Structure 1
């Protein structure tokens, strides 16, 4: 295992992920995440946003593989580790807030054990310490009667409560990195705002770095300091959130912003991403892939 004296929480360097037939899902993706920073990964469905988070956590679907690139977590080169060491390192260092709280929670187990057991088994905490931490985090995500909720099954709780529980479970072991995979997608607008506020509050308190996956530029503006804009597995733009919204450099970034509804300007016409731009981008990516397959980078 190689350890680098690195200040960043996460470095992804020229990451390529491909299907068995060689078709790339991610194309030379590079990004970095500082401790205590929130970086948004934004783009349309199929852009490869979630694949980056899954690659970092080592939970890629079985038909995908990393063909090139490096992933460095807290200075540790994950690619150089054995599978067991990598799983242990990631489990100790990182956590996931998944997209769908209903399927992420085990329907036949009560909430308490689903938060407490990982703290005991993975992090070696005592049962009393783990239970106290779980109750504290449930209280901090504004769940009333945490003891009662700990003894409840997922189906007995609302979608918003289940998502709060997943946030509590992710922050419970004080990870250095959290991958938030579109955690507000299935929620209504009011609950979405509450969940974003909770993640931001806990992130600021703990200094945890967050890789926030979303397709919503409005969410990007609320949650992140930096943004990576993706299209078809390729980085279109990488900048601070302020720079992206005040002076976007790539036509695709400008199109995404224009396609975002503005509640401050309800008279503004809706502007979908132009089909001509999508066609041009696909052509550019096809050319890049042809060069890649031919061995000329």
Structure 2
């Protein structure tokens, strides 16, 4: 008898994260991610996008405290698990595509073991099966001569190739969830387009759900089906991608879209998000934090 997949691959309920001094970094964040869905987390730097992904994967910085809320992975409450059990479940069911492939890959180890070792140690695959899967995925992400690449060190490869390798490694065990933390930021436009296409193709083939962290509304339009807009660690808007671009409900979302450069608008002046809107959002956030602490939820 086969096990039916849970309705939601990921569910985040009223997630809060703070620093030891009480500063709130995530503010009552809630969202869901269905099987096979790509959801973009978008906002300015410091909005809390990567913090959410790290909270899901259990790799928050040591100074950050997950103060309240819950995270469910296919219906299993991660917060209710012992740390060792949680690490095991997350490692088996999820994967990360990080932002900087050069720092993410071990510079003194060849590429091959960096892909195959997690398959052997975490997923209990045989070495032969892991090697076959690694070569298959490297070919799938359009890397020529994958045998040579498997025997190369990271510094011997281009940035685009290193990012393709991280994509291959993330999709290799067919995880339920992938957190893609701005995986195209350091790439030029041509390579960025290729990487987005690869992630979308592999995601569709495997049915993996993807939480895609980005600050680029152009990337949001290309990759996602739903969008969560963040400011200062709180959700301002959550809607299907089409609705976000055609009829955004929040002024901040409209500001982000308006500030996105377009190829046919080179003659128009740059339009940043209005500063008076930012100032109002900051005042609202401070007022919300006051209510939070006065309500005894510190």
Structure 2: give runs of 5+ residues left out of the alignment: none
CA–CA separation in structure 1 for the residues paired with 2:266 and 2:239 = 28
Residue in structure 2 matched with residue 252 of structure 1 by the alignment: 252
Residue in structure 2 matched with residue 37 of structure 1 by the alignment: 37
Give the Å deviation of 1:75.
1.0
Give 4+ residue runs of structure 1 displaced > 6 Å after superposition: none
Matches within 5 A, 1:21-100: 21-100=21-100
1:78-108 Cα offsets, whole Å, 9 max, x none, are: 0000000000000010000000000000000
1:192-242 Cα offsets, whole Å, 9 max, x none, are: 000000000000000000000000000000000000000000101000000
Residue in structure 2 matched with residue 127 of structure 1 by the alignment: 127
Residue in structure 2 matched with residue 230 of structure 1 by the alignment: 230
CA–CA separation in structure 2 for the residues paired with 1:122 and 1:268 = 52
Residue in structure 2 matched with residue 141 of structure 1 by the alignment: 141
Matched residue of 2:179: which SS? strand
Residue in structure 2 matched with residue 265 of structure 1 by the alignment: 265
CA–CA separation in structure 1 for the residues paired with 2:107 and 2:161 = 14
Matched residue of 1:80: which SS? coil
Structure 1: give runs of 5+ residues left out of the alignment: none
**Number of residue pairs matched by the alignment:** 293
1:18-62 Cα offsets, whole Å, 9 max, x none, are: 001111000000000000000000000000000000000000000
TM-score by length of 2: 0.97
Residue in structure 1 matched with residue 111 of structure 2 by the alignment: 111
Greater shift after overlay, 5-14 or 251-260?
5-14
Give the Å deviation of 1:293.
1.1
Give the Å deviation of 1:268.
3.1
TM-score by length of 1: 0.97
* Alignment pair present for 1:173 and 2:188: no
Greater shift after overlay, 5-14 or 212-221?
5-14
CA–CA separation in structure 2 for the residues paired with 1:263 and 1:281 = 30
CA–CA separation in structure 2 for the residues paired with 1:246 and 1:269 = 22
